[in-house]
Chain A
Amino acid sequence: MDEMQMIDVSENVKKKDKFMIGIYISILVLIILGLLIYFFGYDFLKPFIKV
């Protein structure tokens, strides 16, 4: 009977989903931030860049 008992893994699945959503968001942030800095950030960052 012990082997037949159900194990609730729904909590793990929820955690996993949250984790993956966090990863997707961080990649999205990277893409948006990267594009913004690449195309519009040069003039702002120019004084801090050493040749």
Chain B
Amino acid sequence: MKLNHVFKKINKEKIFNFIIILIVIMLYVSVFSYIYTNFRERKRNELANSIINKVDDEIKKNENENQNPSEEIVVNYDGYKYTVLGKISIKKINIYQPILKENTAGAYNTALVKMAGPSLNSYGNVAIGGHNFMRGNYFIKINRLVKDDVVKITDLTGKTISYYVYEYGVVNKDDASYLAQPSDKNKRIVTLVTCTKGGKERYYVKAMAK
């Protein structure tokens, strides 16, 4: 009877040990995945900041030369090559990011991307897309924007226009109505777009220049 009891105890101990080993493995995985995510974000920030610096240099150059300012520049950094159109600043949600031309997964992982529409700061509806994961550098917080919040867009000529939020909402991922051009051709509109519900829906914010 006693021996049987000892065997039962040993089995219980084995299960206990297995659970402890599992917890330790999970600890290792979570610590290293946290570090990897952090490093990835650091690198992405470095990349975005370097692009912003190049944008600022180009704006200065365009302001000084004042002849046929370029609408886009190609930026090379650490093996990454992107075409940059300008930058966006939304103070309320602490966004200050470059706007890229490439509509690729890599570009979306790096910064914000012009999805559709005319050139930045020109008449019409310009849609700018961004991821909403990681730590707030993308569009994760655009759902905090409400009516009359300011979105500033600077193009490479150095022209900065303030857009004021007038509409926001959620649509199905197949509904691209937010990309439509305004019927009034004298309106400057910028539409910020990001995914919600794991990509099943799109959250958009529309802002207009006054």
The 8 Å CB contact of B20, one of A12, A23, A50, is A23
> Could you say which residues of chain A place their CB within 8 Å of the CB of B6?
7, 9
8 Å CB interface, A1-51 against B: 3, 5, 7, 9, 12, 16, 19, 23, 26-27, 30, 34, 37-38, 41-42, 45-46, 49-51
In this complex, the member of B28, B80, B106 whose beta carbon has the largest number of chain A beta carbons within 10 angstroms is B28
Q: Are B17 and A19 interface neighbours, CB within 8 A?
A: yes
Q: How far is A45 from B35 in the complex, measured between Cα atoms in Å?
A: 11
Pair A51/B42 contact, Cβ less than 8 Å: no
Tell me if B80 and A16 are in contact (CB < 8 A).
no
- Tell me how many residues of B have a C-beta within 8 Å of chain A: 27
Chain A residues, CB < 8 A from B39: 41-42, 45-46, 49
Bound Cα distance A16, B13 (Å): 9
Nearest B residue to A9, CB-CB: B6
A23 to B25, CA, bound (A): 10
Given contacts A3-B1, A37-B35, contact A50 B40 (CB under 8 A): yes
Q: Does B210 lie at the interface of the complex (its beta carbon under 8 Å from any beta carbon of A)?
A: no
- B31: nearest chain-A partner, CB-CB: A34
Within 96-150 of B, Cβ neighbours of A (below 8 Å) are at 106, 109-110
Q: Which residues of A contact B10 (CB under 8 A)?
A: 12
Residues of B within 8 A of A (CB): 1-3, 6, 10, 13, 17, 20-21, 24, 27-28, 31-32, 35-36, 38-40, 42-44, 47, 80, 106, 109-110
The residues of A with any CB-CB pair to B shorter than 8 Å are: 3, 5, 7, 9, 12, 16, 19, 23, 26-27, 30, 34, 37-38, 41-42, 45-46, 49-51
20 contacts between A and B (CB under 8 A): A7-B6, A12-B10, A12-B13, A16-B13, A23-B20, A27-B27, A30-B24, A34-B32, A37-B32, A38-B35, A42-B39, A42-B42, A46-B39, A46-B43, A49-B36, A49-B39, A49-B43, A51-B43, A51-B47, A51-B80
